[in-house]
C-alpha cells in the first residue's frame, strides 16, 4: 500500500490566480499484490480549470491554430495542384543567342581602302594652263631682246649673243618651274579633297554599322530580359503557395494558456522492498544453517579427540 499512499500524498489540489487543478476520485481498480492479495486501488481524475481571461486566451490561440491549419491545408491543395502540372514555359519570349543576319561584321563594298583617280592629268593640265599664261610674255621678251641685238650689231655666235640666248632660256626654265610648282599644289589639293571625301564616306558607313549593331544588341538584351522576368514571375506564381505553406508550417507550435499551477509535489516515501526482505530473510536463514552445521561438526571433532585419548589409556 506504500505506492498508493504516496500517490494520494502527491495529488494535492492547487488554486492559483490563473486557474485551479483539482483531483477527484472516479472509481477503483483491483490490483493483485505479489503476496496474492487483492486490493481496490482508487482512480482519480485531474481537472484543470482556467480563469475567464486565461480561458479566453486559450480559446483564441486554439482558434488561431485552427485557422492556420485550415489555411495551410488550402495552400497545400493549391501547391500540390501546381506541382502536378508540368512546367510550361512555352509562353516565355525566345532566348536570343545571336543578333541575326542584320549584324554588321564588315562595312560592305562601299568602304574605301583607296580613293580618287589619277590626278597626273590634272597636274599636266594645270602646268599647261600656267605656261599658256607665261609663254606670250616670254616670247615677246625674247623677240625684243633679239631685235635689240640686231640693232646693236650683235651677231649670232658672238659672246653677247650667247649670253642673251642663255638669259632667254633661263626665263623659259623659271616659268616652267613655276608652272610645275603650281600644278603640284593643284595636285595636292585634289588629293586631299579625295582623301577627305573617302574618310567622310567611311566614317558614315562605320557609324551606320555601329548604330545598327547597337540597335540589334539592345533589342536582343531587351528580349532576353523580358524572358528572364517572365520566367521569374512564372516560377514565383508556381512556388508562392508552397512558400506560404512552408512559412506557416515552420512556425513554432501555439503555446497553451498559462495555468500558473506548479507541478504536483512529490513525496520521498519509499515503497516496501518486498523482494529485498525475502532476500535478507533467506540470507539470515542460510547463515544460521551454516552456523549450526559448523557447530555440529565441531562437536563431532571434539568427541573424536576425547574418545581417542580415552582409548589410548592403558
Give the span between the Cα atoms of 9 and 309, in whole angstroms: 72
Q: Quote the pLDDT of residue 286.
A: 64
> For 128-150, what is each residue's pLDDT tens digit?
899 899 899 999 998 998 888 88
Give the span between the Cα atoms of 158 and 164, in whole angstroms: 10
Per-residue pLDDT of the chain (314 residues; tens, 9 = 90+): 676 777 778 888 999 998 899 999 898 888 888 888 888 888 889 999 999 999 999 999 899 888 878 887 887 777 667 666 777 888 888 887 777 666 666 666 666 666 666 677 888 888 889 989 989 999 999 899 888 888 888 888 888 889 988 999 999 999 999 989 998 888 888 878 877 887 888 788 788 778 877 887 888 888 789 888 988 888 887 777 777 777 777 764 434 445 445 555 554 555 555 455 556 665 776 676 566 555 544 544 544 444 444 344 44
User: Quick one: three-class SS letters along the chain?
Assistant: CHHHHHHHHHCCCEECCCEEEEEEEEEEEEEECCCCCEEEEEEEEEEEEECHHHHHHHHHHHHHHHHHHHHHHHHHHHHHHHHHCCCCCCCCCCCCCCCCCCCCCCCCCCCCCCCCCCCHHHHHHHHHHHHHHHHHHHHHHHHHHHHHHHHHCCCCCCHHHHHHHHHHHHHHHHHHHHHHHHHHHHHHHHHHHHHHHHHHHHHHHHHHHHHHHHHHHHHHHHHHHHHHHHHHHHHHHHHHHHHHHHHHHCCCCCCCCCCCCCCCCCCCCCCCCHHHHHHHHHHHHHHHHHHHHHHHHHHHHHHHHHHHHHHHCC
Q: Are 49 and 22 in contact (CB under 8 A)?
A: yes
Q: Are 220 and 99 in contact (CB under 8 A)?
A: yes
> For 68-81, what is each residue's pLDDT tens digit?
788 878 877 776 67
Give the span between the Cα atoms of 107 and 125, in whole angstroms: 36
Amino acid at each position: 500500500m506504500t505506492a498508493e499512499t504516496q500517490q494520494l500524498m502527491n495529488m494535492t489540489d492547487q488554486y492559483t490566480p490563473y486557474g485551479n487543478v483539482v483531483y477527484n476520485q472516479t472509481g477503483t481498480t483491483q490490483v493483485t499484490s505479489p503476496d496474492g492479495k487483492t486490493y481496490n486501488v482508487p482512480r482519480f481524475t485531474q481537472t484543470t480549470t482556467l480563469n475567464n481571461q486565461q480561458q479566453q486566451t486559450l480559446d483564441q490561440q486554439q482558434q488561431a491554430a485552427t485557422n492556420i491549419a485550415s489555411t495551410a491545408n488550402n495552400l497545400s491543395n493549391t501547391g500540390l495542384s501546381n506541382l502536378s502540372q508540368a512546367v510550361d514555359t512555352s509562353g516565355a519570349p525566345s532566348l536570343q543567342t545571336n543578333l541575326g543576319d542584320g549584324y554588321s561584321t564588315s562595312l560592305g563594298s562601299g568602304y574605301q581602302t583607296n580613293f580618287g583617280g589619277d590626278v597626273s592629268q590634272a597636274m599636266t593640265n594645270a602646268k599647261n594652263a600656267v605656261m599658256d599664261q607665261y609663254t606670250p610674255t616670254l616670247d615677246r621678251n625674247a623677240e625684243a631682246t633679239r631685235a635689240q641685238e640686231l640693232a646693236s650689231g650683235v651677231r649670232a655666235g658672238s659672246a653677247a649673243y650667247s649670253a642673251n640666248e642663255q638669259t632667254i632660256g633661263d626665263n623659259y626654265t623659271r616659268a616652267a618651274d613655276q608652272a610645275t610648282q603650281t600644278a603640284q599644289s593643284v595636285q595636292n589639293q585634289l588629293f586631299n579633297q579625295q582623301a577627305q571625301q573617302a574618310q567622310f564616306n567611311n566614317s558614315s558607313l562605320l557609324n551606320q554599322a555601329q548604330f545598327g549593331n547597337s540597335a540589334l544588341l539592345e533589342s536582343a538584351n531587351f528580349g532576353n530580359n523580358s524572358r528572364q522576368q517572365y520566367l521569374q514571375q512564372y516560377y514565383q506564381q508556381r512556388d508562392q503557395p508552397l512558400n506560404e505553406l512552408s512559412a506557416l508550417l515552420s512556425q513554432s507550435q501555439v503555446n497553451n494558456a498559462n495555468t500558473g499551477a506548479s507541478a504536483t509535489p512529490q513525496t520521498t516515501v519509499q515503497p516496501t522492498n518486498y523482494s529485498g526482505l525475502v532476500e535478507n530473510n533467506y540470507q539470515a536463514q542460510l547463515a544460521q544453517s551454516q552456523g549450526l552445521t559448523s557447530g555440529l561438526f565441531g562437536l563431532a571433532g571434539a568427541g573424536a579427540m576425547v574418545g581417542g585419548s580415552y582409548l589410548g589409556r592403558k
